[in-house]
Amino acid sequence: MAWLIALPLGLAIVYLAARYGRFRSWIEPVLSIAVALALSAAFLVWLNESAPDEIPAPAPDQPETGLTADDIVLENMTVEPSQTRRSYRVRGTAANASDLALEYFRLTVTLEDCPQDACRHIGDDTALILLRVPGGQSRPFETFLTFPFRPDEAPTAPKWSFRVSEVRGSSRR
């Protein structure tokens, strides 16, 4: 509705400024200040509307309920070399011991070379496993991991360690 007033007013100002030089000499600074004030007001309105509403923090005595890394049990883990020398295919089963449904987890795998029980750390890799597992059930998964080592340092007696480092669940079952 404001445009119904602003449009004729703007046209009148443009006409008068084009027609009369004296009018133009004082309307230019007035319009510049008006535009600066309007932009400042618009910015303040936007700033107030975009500020997030304050969310109250949960009471400290309420325990957090949700899926944890301890709720995911890795079973039947196998590792086999892939097509490249530093890439490995990892297969296994993720069992969800919680009542909540698992949506995804991060699998962190550590590779060590342990000839004659003298272990040398080769590297770690983490994979995001998108796997929906309802509470109390298990599902197989597969992923590929890559470990950095020089061709002359390839592991002769590899030792693998598996760990769930992050989980996300939902209340859907």
The tokens for 28 are 């230019």
* DSSP bridge pairs for 158: 113
Residue intervals of the chain classified under CATH 2.60.40.1620 are: 69-170
Q: Which CATH architecture fits 69-170?
A: Sandwich (2.60)
pLDDT digits (tens, 9 = 90+) for 95-110: 999 888 999 999 999 9
Kindly state the tokens that stand for 57: 């923090």
pTM: 0.58
- Among residues 136, 129, 122, the alpha carbon closest in space to that of 91 is found at 129
How does pLDDT run across 135-172, given as a tens digit for each residue? 889 999 999 998 877 777 777 888 899 999 889 887 66
| Long-range CB pairs of 81-88, under 8 A, 24+ apart, other chains included | 82/144, 84/146, 85/151, 85/154, 86/146, 86/147, 86/148, 86/149, 87/144, 87/145, 87/146, 88/144, 88/145, 88/146, 88/147
